A = this chain, B = another copy of it.
Amino acid sequence: MKVKSESSKLWKNCIGAISNLIDEAAFKFTPEGVKMEAMDPSHVALVDFNLPSKSFEEYDVEETQVLGVDLIEMDKVVSRAKKDDKFVVELDEEKNRLVLKFEGASTRRFSLPLIEVEGEETPQPELDFSTSAKIQAGIIQDGLKDASLVADNVRFGATEEKFIMGAESDTGSSQMELSKSSEGLKELKVQKPSKSMFNISYLDDIIKAVSSSDFIDIRLGSDLPIKLDMPIGDGKGQLKFLLAPRIEAE
């Protein structure tokens, strides 16, 4: 098998973000595309990476291959990508290694040992979200950073009129309000007011996968998980993220 992307940026950003949460993962290369689903060690977060074959410049996968890699090591390699490098992923069957190549001014070839990754069943919960919003990543990043000044958890909330992120503790409080007229809020559908609390650092880690001007689809409920749907590869692929809520003490 051999697949080639016109740009290495998407891989650099996604692997960089995912490896903050998950150490090892199995990439499934099928004739239709590349897929990777994994949970973080504490089973709080679910990552679903999806790149269809059409988002590649070259895509040659005849048989499905499941390739386990150490994401920390893979991150070190993809971090070495230069802006205009093309990015090739191949399998070296003989040596049992994943080959990652950057093609630019020079050709740079890295190989990583394949590892056994336990094929864990990732849950696909049916969730009855009451809020759906499309918000610019940079605004969410700011809301997370603001909240981190006062607490480890952030409350997400939505009413028909506005989207809210906030935190409260003895050292103070932070609150960000995004009204329907804001440029950073493209869509806000609220069946009934939602409010859930989440760990800040998980969200902060994963959101690094997209640039601050990208819009993210957010699904929210009350004391329900949050679901982020981030466009990757010019919107042809997706990085989905599901995070369990922290239940607020009364």
Contacts and interface: CB of A to CB of B under 8 A. Distances in A.
B77 A108 contact: no
Interface stretch (A27-35, A47-55, A121-129, A176-184): A176-184
- As for how many copies of this chain the complex holds, the number is 3
A76 B149 contact: yes
Contacts of A80: 142, 145-146, 149
Nearest to A110: B174
Interface stretch (A57-65, A165-173, A218-226): A165-173
Interface string A178-192: 110011100000000
A172 B111 contact: yes
A-side binding surface: helix, strand, loop or mixed?
mixed
A183 B111 contact: no
Nearest to A82: B142
A113 B170 contact: yes
A170 B245 CA distance: 40
Contacts of A111: 172-173
Contact of A182 (B106, B171, B179): B106
Contact of A106 (B97, B172, B177): B177
A211 interface: no
